[in-house]
């Protein structure tokens, strides 16, 4: 090897080592803030619950078995954990409904903003982001004041003579869905607007010139072009709504639990930290599957469009 090549190799080696040394503080922070706690949760999920919370350092897989199965207290046989399964299904169902509903409301909202004059689009986006100025708990209590039996909605409906008695909305799945739609709607509007803002509306005009109906223009031109925004917005809404805690706790009243509430219950009154850890990791796996779907779709879309 020539002297020049050896010098270049040594310089490259020193450069790589210097980069690792400069990145070391950031990598340490990332490990301690994310990977470290995750490893603790993984370890806890394979331990034995203590009598008053905490864990006993004895290996056990009971927590993972209890995620989907439950043991009969008299016969010791295993059966389906109906309560956990019901909460899983409710969480997925409400998250999917929230995603679809926010898409239904967010799509026309984003289209409206994208078709406004350039000088007013910033104002409309400013209006959309106003709810983020307020704490999530306060926003959830605001929704509660609207939908409770003596709230604005029921009072208006009774006053107009549409109903004779207040409708029980609070502490139901519908209350949770309404709250999550309100909370996560901006997370759907913003990615959709980002896609629509780049849309070449001359293609829409060309579709009308070729005598396409409004529905056909929507389904054959607009939706395919803004599909990345639809997927991104759906992921941004589905993932946090799946693990939502505050909204189901306040609007569900503890009667309509979701995954986040079930996990908190195990670490709190349930005093079963290993089961809570196993449930948290199960939720993490579901979120990772959703993220992998998005990454795979984004990669396929990039390959199709060069």
Mean pLDDT for back-to-back runs of 10 residues, the chain (306 residues): 72 81 85 84 91 86 88 74 88 94 95 90 90 88 91 90 89 92 94 90 88 88 89 90 91 85 89 92 87 75 60
Separation between Cα atoms, residue 234 and residue 297, nearest integer Å: 13
Please report how many Cα atoms fall inside a 13 Å half-sphere around the Cα of residue 78, on the Cβ side: 7
Element (H, E) at 181: helix 173-197
Burial code of 79-103, b = ≥16 C-beta within 10 A, e = fewer?
eebeebeebbebbbebbebbbebbb
Considering the entire predicted model, what is its pTM? 0.84
* Span 180-193, pLDDT tens digits: 999 999 999 999 99
* Span 42-74, pLDDT tens digits: 999 999 998 887 888 999 988 998 888 887 777
């Amino acid at each position: 090897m020539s002297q020049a090549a050896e010098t270049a190799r040594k310089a490259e080696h020193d450069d790589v080592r210097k980069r690792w040394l400069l990145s070391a503080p950031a990598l340490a922070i990332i490990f301690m803030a994310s990977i470290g706690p995750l490893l603790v949760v993984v370890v806890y999920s394979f331990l034995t619950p203590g009598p008053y919370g905490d864990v006993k350092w004895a290996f056990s897989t009971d927590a993972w078995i209890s995620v989907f199965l439950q043991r009969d207290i008299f016969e010791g046989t295993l059966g389906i954990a109906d309560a956990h399964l019901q909460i899983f299904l409710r969480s997925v169902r409400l998250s999917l409904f929230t995603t679809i509903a926010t898409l239904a409301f967010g799509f026309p909202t984003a289209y409206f903003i994208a078709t406004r004059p350039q000088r007013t689009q910033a104002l409309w986006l400013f209006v959309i982001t106003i709810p983020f100025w307020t704490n999530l708990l306060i926003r959830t209590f605001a929704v509660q004041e609207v939908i409770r039996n003596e709230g604005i909605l029921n009072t208006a409906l009774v006053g107009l003579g549409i109903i004779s008695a207040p409708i029980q909305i609070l502490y139901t799945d519908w209350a949770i869905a309404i709250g999550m739609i309100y909370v996560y709607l901006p997370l759907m509007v913003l990615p959709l607007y980002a896609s629509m803002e780049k849309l070449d509306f001359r293609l829409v005009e060309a579709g009308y010139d070729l005598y396409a109906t409004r529905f056909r223009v929507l389904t054959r031109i607009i939706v395919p072009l803004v599909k990345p925004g639809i997927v991104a917005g759906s992921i941004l809404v589905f993932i946090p709504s799946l693990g939502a805690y505050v909204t189901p706790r306040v609007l569900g009243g503890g009667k309509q639990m979701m995954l986040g509430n079930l996990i908190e219950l195990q670490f709190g009154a349930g005093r079963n930290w290993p089961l809570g850890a196993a449930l948290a990791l199960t939720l993490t796996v579901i979120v990772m599957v959703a993220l992998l779907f998005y990454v795979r779709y984004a990669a396929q879309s990039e390959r199709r469009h060069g």
